[in-house]
Structure formats: C-alpha cells, structure tokens
C-alpha cells in the first residue's frame, strides 16, 4: 500500500475548502488515502510576513473574486462568508479530538465545518456552533465541551501545527506526496501527473 497523501489546511482558507471537496476522490483514483491535518496558519504567517489574503491591499479584492471563480471552475459550491477571516482553533481542536476516537467521524466533521462556513455562511468561530456540528456527527457534547476548555487539546493542536511547520508547511492547502510538497489547490494537476508517472 503506498503512503497516504498528507493534506494540511486551515479551516479559514477558502482554497483549503476547495481542496477538501476534491482530495479524497482525487487520491482514490491513484489508490491513495489522505491524512487530513487542520492547522492554524496565524503562527507561520508571523514568521513569513504573510497575512490573510483578503486583508492584503489589491490582492484582497482579487482573491475574493478568485475564490468564487475557482470554485465555479472546480464545480464546488461557494459563497464568500461575510464574517471573514475568522478564528478556527476550536474547529481544528475538535477535529483532532474526534480523530483520536474515529478518523471517519473527524473527516465528516471537517466537511461539516467547511460547508457551514463556505456554503451556509455560518460563523464557525463560535464554539457553540463547532460543538453543534460535532454533535451532528455523533460526538458527545459534554465531553467535547470539557476537552475544548482544557489544556490537553490545546497542546495537541499546537503540536500538530509545530510538526507541520517543521515540514515546511506555510500555507493552505499544502499537500505532501511521497515527500514532495505542493502548495495550493491549483497544484492538483501537478500532483495528478506526479502520481501518474512517479514524479516528473
């Protein structure tokens, strides 16, 4: 069995969302699994001098236009959220809390978060909504709420982020395929060729 594809993303990344709607089916065509790895880019942005795309002069306006156009191009539903950018640490922490119990539930939850934000325009920075979305995927509300209030889960996400940055991850989505890094949903065609021909 070949190595899974590592898929790093920030829930507050529209291009990460677009990739999330495509990556599993994409990888399955090459008999690959995908390891989903939500991270928080805020820390690395401080290091790289980057900022959320929509807050950058000139580039911000283009980006909002490009999010929607890229979504149409990729045939993924998208409505740019009014509340954007937004904090996603509760969503990312909940992902790992679920992941440590059951991978598939965590993935279904991740889709719920992305779609709540980028299709329904809901404010996933709110802890109540995050817990509600997790409960909708079968999670125990009280256990999750307790975990979100504690230090262990906070440390768990921080360790994931540090590990990602240690591998060079600086943006979202960021895919690593057999050690080869690809940044951006617009690198899927390159990944496709990479997987088809074992590199190029």
Binding site for a second copy (CB under 8 A): 44, 47-51, 56-59, 61-62, 65-66, 69-70, 72-73, 165, 168-171, 181, 183-184, 186-187, 189-190, 193, 200
* Residue with Cβ nearer a second copy (50 or 119): 50
Residue 40 C-beta: closest distance to a second copy, Å: 15
* Residue with Cβ nearer a second copy (1 or 200): 200
Contacts of 99 (CB under 8 A, 6+ apart): 106
* Residue with Cβ nearer a second copy (123 or 186): 186
* Residue with Cβ nearer a second copy (35 or 69): 69
Contacts of 78 (CB under 8 A, 6+ apart): 14, 17, 18, 67, 68, 71, 72, 118, 119
Residue 149 backbone dihedrals phi, psi, to 5 degrees:
-85, -10
Maximum distance among all alpha carbons in the chain? Answer: 50
Residue 200 C-beta: closest distance to a second copy, Å: 6
Strand 174-177 relative to strand 34-38: parallel, antiparallel, unpaired? unpaired
């Amino acid at each position: 069995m070949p190595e899974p594809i590592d898929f790093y993303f920030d829930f507050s990344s529209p291009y990460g969302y677009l990739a999330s709607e495509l990556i599993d089916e994409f990888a399955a065509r090459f008999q690959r699994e995908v390891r989903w790895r939500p991270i928080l880019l805020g820390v690395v942005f401080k290091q790289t001098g980057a900022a959320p795309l929509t807050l950058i002069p000139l580039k911000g306006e283009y980006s909002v236009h490009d999010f929607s156009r890229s979504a149409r191009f990729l045939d993924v539903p998208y409505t740019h959220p009014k509340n954007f950018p937004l904090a996603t640490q509760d969503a990312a922490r909940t992902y790992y809390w679920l992941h440590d119990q059951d991978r598939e539930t965590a993935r279904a939850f991740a889709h719920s978060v992305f779609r709540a934000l980028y299709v329904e325009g809901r404010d996933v920075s709110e802890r109540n909504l995050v817990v509600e979305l997790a409960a909708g995927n079968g999670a125990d509300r009280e256990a999750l709420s307790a975990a979100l209030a504690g230090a262990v889960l906070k440390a768990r996400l921080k360790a994931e982020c540090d590990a990602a940055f240690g591998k060079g991850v600086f943006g979202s989505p960021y895919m690593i395929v057999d050690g080869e890094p690809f940044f951006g949903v617009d690198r899927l065609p390159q990944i496709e060729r990479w997987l088809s021909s074992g590199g190029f």
